[in-house]
Amino acid sequence: MIFLSALSLVPNLAAQDTPLISGGVGFLTTTNGGNTTYSPTIEPVLAAPIGQRLLVESRAALLESFFPLGNGQGYDTTHFTGFTYLQADYLATSHITVVGGYFLTPFGTYNERLTPIWISNFQDGPLIFPIGTMGSASGTGAEVRGNAVSTGKVSVSYAAYFSAGSTVEQFQSSRSTGGQTSIYFPNARLEVGFSYGRSLEGQQSNAFGTDVWWEPEKIPLKIRSEYAHGAHSQGYWVESAYRLSQFGGEESWLGRLEPVFRIQQTFRNSPDATDGLPAADTQRADFGLDYHLPHEVRIDTSYARQFSSTGDKNVWETAIVYRFLFPAWRGKK
Amino acid sequence: MKSWKYIPVCFSLMLVAPIFSQTKNSDAAQTNSTQQAPAKAVHNSQQRDGNTVFEQNCSRCHTTPQGFSPRISGTVVRHMRVRAGLSKEDEQALLRFLNP
């Protein structure tokens, strides 16, 4: 009897581990300095468990960009196809997962959490995104990650990696090492994280970062922020998203609206044309309005004003994104 | 460049606005949003733990999927274990939450 009761508590993993296909497909537009670029995009995700301890997963990006020619005579196109990550995860113990392959560089929060088009509130990443993400934002090598402590009061997760340099077109990466740790306090709904990265190519350099996320318990407000310091520049961003679900619930027409706002600044400490940050001190404010339609469809709109001694500019962005999630095949019953 | 000075004011307003918008509707709204979660029937402490794991590790980054086949729930949870840094115990609580 006890045995039967125990069995009923054990999840039936065999029937639930069918490989899945997920991701997002979207149509994005960006108007920058009066020129509008159109980008149909698809980002498929594949996750396939093998046995009880192994997971193979991948995310790719396929996009086509249509941009205006300078002489006003029509449009030209470029296309991009590449892996964002393609990795094997071995669940070694309850607290240790060993990752091998091509993985997202664990620095800050944006790269690992917010880059998918069906998650990010804004189409473009923060200005400080290149700091610590080592160029391609992915590494080729090995990573150890997991949860060190998880209680009702605190949760500590960590990641450490080593990446080799790779010039293979689909798996570009820099020789680098680094890691991050984050401490989450569930009662306060507050997370504080720290990141470190070291580029091991050419003139070696360090990058440091810290991040703070907070979600008030009774208000559907998300506040996210990051600060990063690189060899020749530094900066921060703060983003807030307020889902209007307090007005009639998440399914009401008003509750589907989510105003978002992001403020960011970068500071140039010394010239570096290769670090990916603006050449001069820059301030930028993004005002966005996202609308969550039924059936996993979302419409994102935003306007940004960027201020810099090299010139101010306006950036308008719109997107419609559909998120999908289904089994790769029928699977066993 | 002068208009840059007004941006912190806008940001502050955005932070303060939700606090003033808290009305009696907030309780109803929260109840409503709970009902939208994958496991609509939360009956025992184990499932509440799974709900907590879900709220603290999944929905902080993305919205709740509007439903998916139970055939892939184990794969979803294993994916989240790696992505969100879940312990094995949290993974199992989350799996029970998705399959009450």
Residue A113 within a domain? yes
Tens digits of residue pLDDT in B20-46: 444 434 333 333 333 333 443 344 444
CB-CB under 8 Å, B18 with A246: yes
Domain holding B100, by residue range, is 44-60+69-100
Residue B49 in domain: yes
Residue A5 in any domain: the answer is: no
Best to test chain A binding among B15, B75, B77 (most A CBs inside 10 Å): B75
Closest-CA distance, A203 to chain B, in angstroms, reads 32
* In a domain? residue B90: yes
Is B18 an 8 Å CB contact of chain A?
yes
Are A246 and B29 an interchain contact pair (Cβ–Cβ within 8 Å)?
yes
A248/B25 Cβ within 8 A = yes
The average pLDDT across A184-203 equals 93
Q: What is the pLDDT of residue B6?
A: 55
Higher local confidence (pLDDT), B19 or A260: A260
Domain assignment present for B10:
no
Q: Name every residue whose Cβ is closer than 8 Å to that of residue A71 and which is 6 or more positions away in sequence.
A: none
Which of B4, B12, B94 to probe by mutation at the A interface, max A CB count within 10 Å? B4
Lowest model confidence (mean pLDDT) among A14-18, A120-124, A232-236, B6-10: B6-10
Instruction: Decide if A285 and B10 are in contact by the 8 Å CB cutoff.
Output: yes
User: Measured between CB atoms, does B34 come within 8 Å of chain A?
Assistant: no
**Does B87 reside within a domain?**
yes
CB contact under 8 A, A184 and B56: yes
Of B11, B61, B75, Cβ closest to residue A49: B75
Q: pLDDT value at position A143? A: 97
Domain count, chain A: 1
Tell me: the pLDDT tens digits for A32-73?
A: 878 899 999 999 999 999 999 999 999 999 999 999 887 777
Question: pLDDT (tens digit, 9 = 90+) per residue, A214-272?
Answer: 999 889 999 999 999 999 999 999 999 999 998 888 889 999 999 999 999 999 998 88
Q: Within an 8 Å CB–CB cutoff, is residue B13 touching chain A?
A: no
> How many domains would you assign to chain B?
1
Q: Do B87 and A283 touch (CB under 8 A)?
A: no
In a domain, A188, yes or no: yes
pLDDT per position as a tens digit, A273-283: 888 899 999 99
Chain A residue nearest residue B62, CA to CA: A119
Q: B86 in a domain, yes or no? A: yes
**Residue B11: pLDDT band with limits 50, 70, 90:** low
Task: Name the minimum distance, in Å, from the CA of B27 to any CA of chain A.
Answer: 8
Instruction: Kindly report the nearest CA distance between residue B68 and chain A, in angstroms.
Output: 7
**A23 or A333, which is more confident:** A23
Closest-CA residue of B relative to A327 is B72
Is the confidence at residue A306, as pLDDT, over 80? yes
CATH classification of the domain holding A234:
2.40.160.10
Give B35 to chain A, closest Cα distance, Å.
10
Global pTM value: 0.84
d(CA A59, CA A119): 14
B residues 65-84 near A, CB within 8 Å? 65-66, 68-76, 78-79, 81-84
Q: Would you say residue B88 lies in a domain?
A: yes
Q: Does ipTM top 0.90?
A: no
Q: With respect to residue B19, please indicate whether it lies within any of the assigned structural domains.
A: no
A with B: how many residue pairs have Cβ under 8 Å apart?
179
In a domain, B48, yes or no: yes
pLDDT digits (tens, 9 = 90+) for B65-83: 877 888 899 999 999 999 9
Q: Which domain holds residue A136?
A: 17-327
Confidence class for position A15, pLDDT limits 50, 70, 90? low
Question: Smallest Cβ distance to A49: which of B15, B74, B83?
Answer: B74
What CA–CA distance (Å, rounded) separates A178 from A99?
14
- Cross-chain CB nearest to B74 (options A16, A189, A249): A16
% of chain A with per-residue pLDDT over 90: 77
